[in-house]
Chain A
Amino acid sequence: MVSKSYIYRMFARSPVKPLQQHMEKVVVCARELNALFEAVVQKDHRKVKSCQKRISKLETEADVLKKELRLHLPTGIMLPVSRQDLLEVLTMQDRIANKSKDIAGLIVGRKMQFPEEMHDSLRDFVKRSIDAVEQAETTVNELDELVETGFKGSEVKLVQSMIEKLDEIESDTDRIQVDVRATLFQMEKDMPPVDVMFIYKVIEWIGDLADLAQRVGSRLQLLLAR
């Protein structure tokens, strides 16, 4: 029997790559919302349904990755960052996938339609929120470089500027959200109240995507601070 050397066994699997893979999955999942809203606008119900199915499948896959990563991070592992903060980043990433699934589920479940006047700003809103998620991914992708440089110096500055950009995108989405709400507010009297309620809900959730992406960024900032 040939057993591995102890020095070899001392090295545990780094959580960085799996965390990045999880984020990659989350981004693919959230990005699917673009196609879904496009299909909603064009009233292509079959396409809406298939988009929702894909989102749901991707969310499940992200969940599996999340659980695997958690299992690989038992206590007694020495990490260059706080284990707690790392798990928080993971939780935030995962909530993005969950939120995407919720949005898709609600739209399909209630066969939702949006008034024509809202379409453009809604598209922008979804797109900008997904931009935020993508920017969060770019930031998470710098983690291996951060480990390489020992969480110091110019790489930290680079990541900090990425986080700042993420914050900017998030404020953009806040602004668009105000516009979208205002448009809806002007029309809400002539619409079925229950529909209006749920449209507000969807708007809120799309905004949440950007919020969660921003929180991924701020957790990363905490990682850097220690």
Chain B
Amino acid sequence: MEFGLAFLILAIVFGLFMAWGIGANDVANAMATSVGSRAITIKQAIIIAAIFEFAGAVLAGGQVTKTIRKGMVDSELLAATPELLVYGMLASLLAAGIWLLVASFNGWPVSTTHSIVGAIVGFAAVGIGVDAVHWAKVGSIVMSWVISPITSGIIAYLLFTSVHQLILDTDDPIKNAKKYVPFYIFLAGFIISLVTVFKGLKHIGLELSTGQAYLLAFAIGLVITLIGVYLINRLDIDPEADKDFHFTNVEKIFAVLMMITACAMAFAHGSNDVANAVGPVAAIVGVVESGGEVAQKTAMPLWVLALGGVGIVLGLAMYGHRVIATVGSGITDLTPSRGFAATLAAATTVVIASGTGLPISTTHTLVGAVLGVGLARGIGALNLKVVRTVFMSWIVTLPAGAILSIFFFFVLKAIFNSVG
């Protein structure tokens, strides 16, 4: 098709830009509970984030990418004018990327998911027509934004309550921590790998039966658990440390768990948020590769997901590590036992959403999880004003993303029409 190569290059550049923005800002949110609880150092957090964000993007990012790529816009309407879809997706990337940059620069809470969804709905509804939007799908996405923080909040509440019953509120918390923490490690490893195995591995050419999937997830969970048990046994339990605060040693054991949930969280974030950047790229690649047809039967090439992963890691390496470092002073009240409950709850919710192809906000999900632990009387003090701002942000982000993308859509259309 005309300008095929130009579209492809622009898509890659804009997609990288957006992924870079996610790596620069959003990854810090995903890692905040882990770094804040002091279970891992800033350096470890950056390494974990780089590896697992990338792995999550490539292994489990396919479903959400599909939703962003073709779930929200009715491509049949565009069969005659495939370039409109290309303009729209380019405009959405640019709009969301710029909004992300402006908002982070001003310190406003941003959700990459909300900006990209707002942008796509915006260009489709105004640039093409209200009928071009799959409103039912968009509706279910918006619903998931309400449901995901609540779900993760409930999971976090239950996780923390169970930690309470099984470990903290017993006669010998250290013994019980050693006994039960491996189960939580297994839970984290099993759930995350199960969702990934079920939903993520098709596009890398691995087809498994349900039985095999469970078996593989079980095996992965077991391996991770063994690593965890090894780390716990290596810990230096010092009774002296418990004199001032009686739970110092127990928290050390939880720190191992926290490290593993930090990996899970980075993986979950990569699996969901990378789609925000690469979904539009995948859509453009699809159109260009099929020679201008919008028929999107072609499988998504793996390199597109990897592109998102690379962008995130670049953003993290160039800027994101500095944002992560601001949490380095630690969050006094966030001990590993609660940090893990919040993080695992959020990671689980996000990964399940990724598996179902729902683009949700990792930050909002994590906020919900932290509130869940707070409701279980687990946290010294939570600032509800910040919580309100975070939740208000998406009401602003949606129209902002939409207006910007409508603007860029018409600009791009005008430029390419005049050149052509």
Contacts and interface: CB of A to CB of B under 8 A. Distances in A.
Interface of A: 1-17, 76-81, 144-145, 147-155
Interface residues of B, number: 51
Contacts of A4: 323, 326-327
Contact of A11 (B28, B319, B366, B383): B383
A8 B109 CA distance: 12
Contacts of B322: 2
Contacts of B380: 12-16, 79-80, 147
A148 B168 CA distance: 8
Contacts of A12: 380-383
B33 A7 contact: yes
Contacts of A11: 36, 331-334, 370, 379, 381-383
Contacts, number: 136
B390 A150 contact: no
B387 interface: yes
B55 interface: no
A7 B366 contact: yes
A35 B231 CA distance: 53
B401 interface: no
Contacts of A8: 32, 36, 326-327, 331
Nearest to B369: A7
Interface in B153-179: 160, 164, 168-171
B381 A9 contact: no
Residue among B322, B337, B374, B383 with most chain A CB within 10 A: B383
Nearest to A158: B246
Given A9-B383, A78-B374, A3 B104 contact: yes
A3 B109 CA distance: 10
Residue among A9, A11, A81 with most chain B CB within 10 A: A11
**Which 5 residue pairs of A and B lie closest in terms of their CB atoms, listed nearest first?**
A14-B380, A153-B169, A7-B32, A80-B377, A12-B381
Contacts of A151: 377
B247 A7 contact: no
B245 A76 contact: no
Contacts of B377: 80-81, 147, 150-151
B378 A80 contact: yes
A154 B247 CA distance: 13
Contacts of A78: 371, 374, 379, 381-384
